[in-house]
Structure formats: C-alpha cells, structure tokens
C-alpha cells in the first residue's frame, strides 16, 4: 500500500535531493535558453520543493496519467512551466527530451504555459494567475464530494490530495481570494498549497505592491498555515508536508522562502531571471556553482534512476486496483457507477429520457419564464443523472438552479450536489472548471448574464481546455427591468458567441430551454452557456421535425407559402415578437427563423444552412442585445432591431417599448430593407 508518510524513497544510486533538484534547474535554464524566451527563475527556485513532493509524497503513475485516485498537482504560477515539464520528463511520463528541447515551439507538447491536453500529466491550463489555485480548489471539492458519496466503511476508493504551487502573482489576483476563502469555509483538508515566497515579480521586489501579511490572510480564511519554511531544505519541506497531511479539517498553506533563479551566481534573487533566459555565460557559471558538469539536455543515468517513478507508480495503482476489486465485490452497483462517472459517460438512458421530456414539454406548451423552464429541465435530469452538480453565486432563488433533489454541500456536509458559491462569480467559474477537470461530476454554475463579465477569463479557459463546463445565465437582457443598466446585459451575448470552441444558447420558450440543456449535457469537449429570461415567454407551436431541428441551433419556426420576401431571425424573448410581426405583415411573405444558438447553427452543413436562410432573401435580425454578431447572417443590405445603447431602469414592458422592440419597429425595419 502507498505510504503517504514516507520520508524519502530508497534510491540505489544514492543521488542526493539537491542533485535531483538540480536536474530540474538544468533542464529549465537550458530549455529557456534554446527557446530564447521563458521563465527560468521560478523552476530553479522551486526545484527543491518539487523534488520532495514528487519523490516522496505525490501519488501518481506516469504510465497512466488519468488513474482516478491519483493526487492532483497544479502549477498555478504557470509561467514556470519548465518545472512541470521537467518533472513529467524525469519521472517517466510520455514527454521525451526532444519535447523538452522543443520548448515554446509550434505544436510542441511543451508550450510556454502548461496547456491541458498537450503534455501527458498536465492537469489544467495555467497562465492567467490565480486560475490554477482556483481550479485546484474545485478539484479538492470534487474529491471530497465523490469520497463522501462512494467511500464505504472499510473501503476508501476516493482518497487523494490536491497540491498547488503558486507564486506572489497568484496571491495578488482577486480571484485567489475568492477561491481560497471558499476552500477554508468548506474545510478542504486535502488541499495543500505551497507559496513560493521569493519576494520577486516582473517589476522587481514586491514590497511596494503586496501586503506582508499573507499568512494572516490565510489564517482568517480558516487555513492551517505553516510559516517560514526554507524552500531549499528538503528536510524542512518534508516535515511541512507531513504536518499538512495531518490536518484533516482545513486546507494548508506552506509558506516556502525561496531564491528565484537559485544557483545563478549573478542573477539569482533578482527580477532579471524571472522572465528571460539567463544567457550562455550565466548558465555556464550556474553549472559550475551547482556542480552540474553535464552538457545541455544531458541527464546522467543515475539521476534518471533517482527520479524514475514508473515502477513505484504501477505498484501504487495496482494496490488501488486490488482495493477497488474488493469494493466491486461488495458494492457492484456503486463500483459500476463510479467507473461510468469517471469515464465521463452519461447514463445510457439519458438521451431517451430527455427526448421524452422535450416531447412532453412541447405537448404541454407552458407559458413560463425560460429560467423556470430551465429549472424544470434540471428537475427532469436530476433523477437520471446522479452526478449532476449545480450552484449559484448567491442567486439561487433568481436563477432557479436548484431542484427537489438538491442537497447543499457545506463544511458539515460533503455528500451533496449543490453549492451556494456566494458573491464570487469569477471564483465560482474557475472552481467549477476544476471540478470538471477532476472528473466524476457534471457541473453547472449560475448568475445573472450581466455578471459573466466577472467570469470571462474562466469561460475562455474552459473553451481552451475543451472541457464540458456549463454556465447558466438568467435575467438575460433589458427584460431584467427595474435593476437598471448595471444589471442589464446588452453586449454579452455577442462577446460570448465569438469565443472559439464555446457554444451559447438563448432559448425562446420552455421547449428550446429543454433542448439547450440536453445539448449542453452531451458536450464533453467544449463548454456551453445557457441564457434564460426573467419574464414569461410565449410557447411556440412546432412539428416533430421542428423540435428535432432546434438542436441544429437555427431552424424555420414559421414559414410562408412559396419563397419568402424577408426572413426574420430572432432569439429568446424576441422570437415571440418576430412571430407577431410576421402575422402583422399580411401583405408580405415572411419566414421566421428561431436561432437559439448561432454557434451550433454555424456547425451545420451548408445545405441545411441554406434551407433555413435562403440565399438571396433579405433578412432582419431581432435581439435585445447589440448587433455585432448578426451581420454575418443579414449582410450589408439587411436590417436589425437591436440595442445600440445601455438600458434604463423601468419595468421590462416599458423598456421593450422604449427601445423599439415592437411590431411597429420590426415592420418599419422590414419595409426599409425591402425598399
């Protein structure tokens, strides 16, 4: 059985911890020098900490980087990417020395910052500071939740730590405050973070722009704090990790004092080695000072032997496999459920059950707000998708993201499926991304659409990592009403639609709401935003074919006889307006297209798109948002009924009239377009 309290693994070659750490330093400075760009200082400064953690505590198998019960390691200070690339290479992951030499080059597995899905063993994309620690908090939440659900007396199949390396920059970002305060509130005892306290950032010594009371801040967050650890003393580092793992009811911050660029005789301890190559002359002197008498990218066999973790990793995983076999024998259904969840597969009956629910909703045609329709869809999915895990940023009663089976997760209860995240939208999104990356849960989070602005970089990161995060946004436009322009989304829909590998849905009624949820749940390699209204929306009549075509992102909702003279394209609450306007234009042949997802529509083949938006037919787009995302459909000769300013504070009905979302305005726009 893996021994989490081991001090040092036995090494036949007796390479010292410092010698092993120097391999990281050498690879880091050589790779950065060859690339002529990069950040050698952090890897050189944290090498000793990494050596102790990876050789004596971290539970992993280089031959199976996706093993379910591995410890998670997150390099939050992602600019120090050569640290993790060195570790992966040295310990036996599928990352060759050629990839190390190819650092920062086109299509390399070793990009400038760690990228999820490139190098085997990288758990998350880091670079924007604060994201990594926030992802790590999410991973720790997922571990705690799954452990509470699956572990049984005498059987601990979910039992791993989340370790984080982070620098001063991570702690300056407000995002880290949001996530770390949540971690302490939840009492995440299996989250251990190392603060690289080197007193340096890009601009120099940080005393002029960073507070000195980091440890006090984390104590106030309910973290266990281990202060003043020499980050170059392996015995002290090890003792700190052992102490951290003995704390079960709160996360731990280990404050490690390090020298950035450790070993560089002229540049160590300065900002000059933070984000630039050391230079050939300094590297030569560093080799001499470290006693590293090897050519660039040459690692002696005895050093490789001291790092190689393949055999030990296989033994650790095999021990877990034996324990899981015993678990399966006693709890076969739970074991099968665990394997299904960790594979990312939805229950086999999910599509059939959702299609039944969609058909039932179309038959009933409820006249409700789409946020309520969203809640109804969650209620339908909850019993058949036990891994469904939701939450809201202090807006549960407005977003309507809970359901009858919601069980709140807090410090006292880990076995639940819903979190009140508090007013920390960015942190919520980044932590949710971490939960998704961990695996085993299908996660969504929610707030008002306007406040996606606080979350934007987390949305972008989810798209970049190609993970199935689900972002739920209610109160989608000026229809929010009296709260005024600060809360009314105007430009947000357009800006989300242009995020690569990101799909945005704005439903026009309960049926489209249900379909959008189905599509979001099925996406495992890309995130989705679901946009819902505050106000009731009139249900639309549809044929079975039209219901099926909703999934294509855009479809003909109402057609005319013969070829149309004008096509009205609308989303959300404005679809009803488009239908009313078409009915009013009795002298014209009008087609109404509902386009809940421009992104999904764009993915369709050209024949289908042409069947919906007939080439040569003029078009008018109608949406209570800015026009920018619509010109690719309407062209230069089309028209728009949109927002061109921020909103106002007033009842929603008054605002729609004031800003021209009326039949009269649509008709006049059509007449102008047709000339």
Q: Are 464 and 425 in contact (CB under 8 A)?
A: no
User: DSSP code of 410?
Assistant: B
What is d(CA 572, CA 64) in angstroms, rounded to the nearest whole number? 45
Q: Is 617 exposed, middle or buried (0-12, 13-18, 19+ CB in 10 A)?
A: middle
Give the other-Cβ count within 10 Å of 453's Cβ: 13
The per-residue DSSP string of 41-66 comes to HHHHHHHHHHHHHHHHT----TT-TT
User: DSSP code of 423?
Assistant: S
**Inter-axis angle of helices 174-186 and 425-438, to 10 degrees?**
60
- Catalytic: 281? no
Q: Is 207 exposed, middle or buried (0-12, 13-18, 19+ CB in 10 A)?
A: exposed
> What CA–CA distances, in Å, run from 392 to 207, 297, 377, 448?
37, 49, 16, 10
**Backbone φ, ψ for residue 225 (5° rounding):** -120, 125
What is d(CA 31, CA 27) in angstroms, rounded to the nearest whole number? 6
Which residues contact residue 613 at a Cβ distance below 8 angstroms, ignoring those fewer than 6 apart?
554, 567, 569, 593, 619, 633
Nearest CA to 90 out of 23, 12, 14, 7 is that of 23
3-state DSSP helix/strand/coil % of the chain, to nearest 5: 45, 15, 40
Tell me which of 425, 512, 574, 623 is the catalytic residue: 425
Give the other-Cβ count within 10 Å of 325's Cβ: 10
Residues in the chain: 675
Quickly tell me which residue has 């096509």 as its tokens.
Answer: 567
Torsion of CA 630, 632, 633, 639, to 10 degrees: 60
Q: Are 161 and 144 in contact (CB under 8 A)?
A: no
**Backbone φ, ψ for residue 183 (5° rounding):** -60, -40
What is d(CA 430, CA 135) in angstroms, rounded to the nearest whole number? 6
Please give the positions annotated as active site.
425
């Amino acid at each position: 059985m893996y021994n989490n309290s081991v001090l040092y693994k036995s090494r036949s070659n007796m390479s010292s911890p410092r010698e092993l750490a120097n391999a990281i330093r050498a690879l880091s400075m050589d790779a950065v020098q060859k690339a002529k760009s990069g950040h050698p200082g952090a890897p050189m400064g944290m090498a000793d900490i990494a050596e102790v953690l990876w050789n004596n505590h971290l539970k992993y198998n280089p031959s199976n980087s996706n093993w379910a019960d591995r410890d998670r390691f997150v390099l939050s200070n992602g600019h120090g990417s050569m640290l993790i690339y060195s570790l992966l290479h040295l310990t036996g992951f599928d990352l060759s020395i050629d990839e190390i030499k190819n650092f920062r080059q086109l299509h390399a597995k070793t990009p400038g910052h760690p990228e999820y899905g490139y190098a085997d063993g990288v758990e998350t994309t880091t670079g924007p500071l604060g994201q990594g620690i926030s992802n790590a908090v999410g991973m720790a939440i997922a571990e705690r939740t799954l452990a509470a659900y699956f572990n049984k007396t005498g059987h601990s199949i979910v039992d791993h730590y989340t370790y984080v390396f982070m620098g001063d920059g991570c702690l300056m970002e407000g995002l880290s405050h949001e996530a770390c305060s949540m971690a302490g509130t939840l009492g995440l005892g299996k989250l251990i973070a190392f603060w690289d306290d080197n007193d340096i950032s890009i601009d120099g010594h940080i005393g002029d722009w960073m507070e000195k009371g980091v440890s006090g801040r984390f104590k106030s967050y309910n973290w266990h704090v281990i202060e003043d650890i020499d980050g170059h003393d392996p015995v002290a580092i090890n003792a700190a990790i052992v102490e951290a793992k003995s704390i079960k009811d709160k996360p731990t911050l280990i404050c490690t004092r390090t020298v950035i660029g450790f070993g560089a005789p002229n540049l160590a301890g300065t900002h000059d080695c933070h984000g630039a190559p050391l230079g050939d002359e300094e590297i030569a002197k560093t080799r001499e000072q470290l006693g590293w008498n090897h050519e660039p990218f040459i690692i002696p066999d005895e050093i490789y032997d001291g790092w190689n973790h393949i055999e030990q990793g296989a033994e650790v995983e095999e021990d877990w496999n034996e324990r899981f076999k015993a678990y399966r024998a006693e709890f076969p259904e739970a074991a099968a459920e665990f394997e299904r969840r960790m594979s990312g597969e939805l229950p086999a009956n999910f599509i059939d059950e959702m299609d039944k629910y969609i058909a039932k909703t179309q038959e009933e045609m409820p006249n409700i707000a789409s946020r309520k329709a969203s809640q109804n869809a969650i209620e339908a999915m909850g019993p058949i998708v036990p891994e469904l895990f939701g939450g809201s940023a202090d807006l549960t009663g407005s977003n309507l993201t809970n359901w009858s089976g919601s069980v709140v997760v807090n410090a006292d209860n880990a076995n639940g499926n819903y979190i009140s995240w508090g007013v920390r939208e960015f942190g919520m999104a980044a932590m949710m991304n971490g939960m998704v990356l961990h695996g085993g849960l299908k996660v969504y989070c929610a707030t008002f659409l306007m406040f996606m602005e606080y979350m934007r970089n987390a949305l972008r990161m989810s798209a970049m990592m190609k993970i199935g995060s689900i972002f739920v946004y209610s109160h989608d436009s000026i229809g929010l009403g009296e709260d005024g322009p600060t809360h009314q989304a105007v430009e947000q829909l357009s800006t989300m639609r242009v995020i690569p590998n990101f799909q945005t849905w704005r439903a026009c009624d309960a049926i489209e709401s249900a379909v959008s949820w189905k599509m979001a749940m099925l996406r495992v390699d890309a995130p989705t935003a679901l946009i819902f209204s505050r106000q009731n929306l009139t249900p639309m009549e549809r044929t079975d074919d039209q219901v099926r075509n909703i999934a294509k992102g855009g479809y003909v909702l109402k057609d005319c006889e013969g070829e149309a003279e004008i096509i009205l394209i609308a989303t959300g609450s404005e679809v009803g307006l488009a239908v009313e306007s078409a009915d009013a234009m009795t002298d014209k042949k009008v087609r109404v297209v509902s386009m809940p997802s421009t992104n999904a529509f764009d993915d369709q083949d050209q024949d289908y798109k042409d069947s919906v938006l007939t080439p040569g037919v003029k078009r008018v787009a109608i949406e209570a948002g800015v026009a920018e995302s619509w010109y690719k459909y309407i062209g230069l000769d089309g028209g728009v009924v949109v927002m061109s300013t921020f909103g106002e504070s007033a009842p929603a009905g008054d605002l729609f009239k004031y800003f021209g979302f009326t039949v009269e305005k649509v008709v006049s726009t059509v007449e102008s377009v047709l000339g």
